[in-house]
Chain A
């Protein structure tokens, strides 16, 4: 069973397109994280959310606690946004659960 499900698994977009990546989870959480893993393997934390919405540059993350769903949006996508985006949640018992990631490729 997967406590965290992401969709789509793979996504190809043209430069400039608006992108949405979805995350659904089945456990009670204290927070949700969006991570970015670059092609070289490094992992960077993009957002940590417990409610509402956060924005950083062209990235927007939203969470709906009642529906157990989060979305990551990228506006005006650029080839440098190509990466794997990972949704992770922290459960109530200090457990962390990770989605398997969404591989995004942005074509010039």
Chain B
């Protein structure tokens, strides 16, 4: 299906486990983003990627790892999950319109619970 998808949609894991959240987009957008959404904080940027093999830290990158070997995929890995990483995670993508900003298209979100 065209668009941006995330998997899994729901995940429960234990403290200390590694977990990977997947994000896939079919538009060939150059930019992709990972956000977490928590009550009282709104959306916060974890990592973003301007193109394949180019990633950069956002506001809250600690405890997370990303990679982008293909334009369409942008997985987010929690190397050793902690309870504070319980959150809803959103992936987004956008075109590169040069100097000026661009609209972002959001995935449906992954609700992660760390017990």
Contacts and interface: CB of A to CB of B under 8 A. Distances in A.
Interface of A: 4, 30-31, 33, 35, 41-45, 48, 50, 86, 88, 90, 94-96, 98-101
A50 B58 CA distance: 22
12 contacts: A31-B100, A31-B101, A35-B106, A41-B109, A43-B90, A86-B43, A90-B101, A95-B58, A95-B59, A96-B45, A98-B44, A99-B42
Interface of B: 33, 35, 40-45, 48, 56, 58-59, 88, 90, 92, 99-106, 108-109
A30 B35 CA distance: 20
A35 B42 CA distance: 12
B58 A45 contact: no
Nearest to B104: A45
A90 B100 CA distance: 10
Contacts of B43: 86, 88, 98
Contacts of A101: 42
Q: Which 9 interchain pairs have the tightest Cβ spacing? A: A31-B101, A43-B106, A100-B42, A98-B43, A98-B42, A90-B101, A45-B103, A30-B101, A48-B103
Given A43-B90, A99-B42, A100-B42, A94 B48 contact: yes
Contacts of A42: 106, 108-109
B84 to A, nearest CB: 18
